[in-house]
Structure 1
Amino acid sequence: MPYEGVLQKMQTEIGSPIQYYLIFPNDYLNVNQVLDKEIHIRFIKYQCLNCGQDRPIYRQGFCRTCFFEIPNAGDWIMRPELSTAHLGKEDRDLEYEKKVQLQPHIVYLANSSNIKVGVTRRSQVPTRWIDQGAHEAIEIVEVPNRYLAGITEVALKEHIGDKTNWRRMLTNDVDDEDLEAWRNKLRRYIPKEAASYFIENNTETHMEFPVLRYPNKVKSLNLDKVPDFKGVLKGIKGQYLIFEDNTVFNVRGSEGYYVSLEIGG
């Protein structure tokens, strides 16, 4: 019997290796357990994660209308420095923005394809790092709101990258780095508003991904272009499924797509 439902990012559980789960309305799949098995993915329709309508997905699992209207798709999501809830100023829904923005946030270094700086809520550590496919990460500061994290990230990315090369991450073309040394090196660039929140004595967190074989090169599966796909699963890294034929499928990038999944032998 196939699994069927709208795709949302895989849920994860830290471990050696990390455990991955696809959640469906009446069931779930531990994706680690289907490594080396054939998976048949069939795209059925769209289902916006907000309105539930069968409308083409624009970004982040939302149709175009919802993306430009709902509070959880505001510009401050991708650009934390635009957060204004700490000033009592509304973007789309002040109560929602207070709930998300006015909680502890981490500015961190992660090494997925290269060292990058990023921001996440404290409650999303280490989930955020796993989703990015980082094999090592370290916190730099823990601040009380999203705005302070945002301005710290803006300052630090003048001196280190803030993007992941997803192709390098998926081929595991990654060098180990001394993130503690990098954290200490970047300390001087932290804005004065956040300087007192520097974390002095933490150590790197390491992630182990369930990958049997990394691809030599990658080709991305787009369900709009290839709505019916079969392949043998060889690994899971970040939010990607890695198949034997070098196809990779970005589950998070396909949120809002209603699919059926069948597991073969």
Structure 2
Amino acid sequence: MTYEGVLTKMQTEFGNPIQYYLVFEHSFLNVNQLLDKDIAIHFIGYQCLHCGKKKKIFRQGFCYDCFMSSASAGDWIMRPELSTAHLGIEDRDLVYEQKVQLQPHIVYLALSSEVKVGVTRGSQVPTRWIDQGATQAIPVVEVPNRYLAGITEVALKKVYADKTNWQKMLKNDVAPADLFKEKASLKFLIPKEAQEFYDMNSSAITQMHFPVLEYPKKVTSLNLDKTPDFSGKLKGIKGQYLIFEDGTVFNVRSSEGYVVQIEV
């Protein structure tokens, strides 16, 4: 069978294991069903996720013009501490920024390649943790806006990494850690503006189980601009990556806006 369309990040369904779906305009594909099977990916072109034009993708599935102008690509997306909607100050589109920034956000610890700190909207739990390839995660604080989450994350970055080492994550080269103990030890790091939201009694650890038959010993990233045609046997799915038998890994999320044909 052949599927064709614009790549967006795989949709997920929490379970044991996590279920993954590639969703196109007129079809969808349960990727778990492709495990241990040969699939081919063919690069066809680009389509900006914002304007829909067939323009080269710059970042986050957007062409350059949309990335520089769209409210959904502002600096506060990657750096929550730059959020200003709680002050009524516009970055690119105050209505959009208020909608996204002025809702509950969670600062969390996750075990992906090591213990890392991160921020996500409450509505994105556990999706955010799944997308990062975390095997465990625990909320640290739940705050009412993105700014408070951002300054808390900045404070915790003095101790914890804020990025996942994707190679270690995909090779499952992850040292064990006690997230409950980590959370219990960091209260003194939380800014005073967010201290009231720290609740040690809310310490449930979420476990993620990924559909991986075999972890690679070495990984090589597939870049569709350099390798427009690829085929291989799928051995696993973790984070937003497809893992192939030869150690090739394909980051679906970083390829958003790419038009592809997939043969299964």
Q: Indicate the TM-score class for this superposition, using the shorter chain for normalisation.
A: over 0.9
> Equivalences for 1:10-25 in 2 at 5 Å?
10-25=10-25
C-alpha separation between the residues in 1 aligned to 2:169 and 2:159?
21
Deviation at 1:199, TM superposition (A): 2.5
What is the CA deviation profile of residues 100-129 of structure 1, one whole-angstrom value per residue up to 9, with x for unaligned ones?
000000000001000000000000000000
Contiguous gaps of at least 5 residues in structure 1: none
Aligned to 1:215: 216
Aligned to 1:235: 236
C-alpha separation between the residues in 2 aligned to 1:106 and 1:131?
16
C-alpha separation between the residues in 2 aligned to 1:27 and 1:161?
38
What is the CA deviation profile of residues 40-66 of structure 1, one whole-angstrom value per residue up to 9, with x for unaligned ones?
100000000001111111110000110
Deviation at 1:204, TM superposition (A): 1.0
What is the CA deviation profile of residues 112-166 of structure 1, one whole-angstrom value per residue up to 9, with x for unaligned ones?
0000000000000000000000000000000000000000000110111111100
Aligned to 2:57: 57
Deviation at 1:78, TM superposition (A): 0.1
Aligned to 1:247: 248
1:203 aligns with 2:204: yes
Deviation at 1:187, TM superposition (A): 1.0
Give the residue type in structure 2 aligned to 1:128: R
What is the CA deviation profile of residues 183-217 of structure 1, one whole-angstrom value per residue up to 9, with x for unaligned ones?
11111100000000012222211100000000000
Contiguous gaps of at least 5 residues in structure 2: none
C-alpha separation between the residues in 1 aligned to 2:176 and 2:256?
31
C-alpha separation between the residues in 2 aligned to 1:246 and 1:155?
37
Aligned to 2:168: 168
Q: TM-score, normalised by structure 2?
A: 0.99
Aligned to 1:140: 140
SS across alignment from 1:175: coil
Aligned to 1:154: 154
SS across alignment from 1:21: strand
C-alpha separation between the residues in 2 aligned to 1:160 and 1:167?
18
Q: TM-score, normalised by structure 1?
A: 0.98
What is the CA deviation profile of residues 222-247 of structure 1, one whole-angstrom value per residue up to 9, with x for unaligned ones?
00000000011000000000001100
SS across alignment from 1:43: strand
C-alpha separation between the residues in 2 aligned to 1:28 and 1:240?
17
C-alpha separation between the residues in 2 aligned to 1:131 and 1:39?
22
1:35 aligns with 2:35: yes
SS across alignment from 2:40: strand
Q: Among all aligned residue pairs of Structure 1 and Structure 2, give the percentage whose two residues are the same amino acid.
A: 70
Deviation at 1:26, TM superposition (A): 1.1
C-alpha separation between the residues in 1 aligned to 2:27 and 2:121?
28
1:225 aligns with 2:226: yes
Deviation at 1:96, TM superposition (A): 0.1
What is the CA deviation profile of residues 48-106 of structure 1, one whole-angstrom value per residue up to 9, with x for unaligned ones?
00011111111100001100000000000000000000000000000000000000000
Aligned to 1:262: 263
Deviation at 1:27, TM superposition (A): 1.1
> Equivalences for 1:80-119 in 2 at 5 Å?
80-119=80-119
* Aligned length in residues: 263
**Contact in 2 for aligned 1:139/1:199 (Cα 8 Å):** no
C-alpha separation between the residues in 1 aligned to 2:151 and 2:189?
11
Give the residue type in structure 1 aligned to 2:162: D
SS across alignment from 1:194: helix
Deviation at 1:255, TM superposition (A): 0.2
What is the CA deviation profile of residues 23-45 of structure 1, one whole-angstrom value per residue up to 9, with x for unaligned ones?
01111100000101111100000
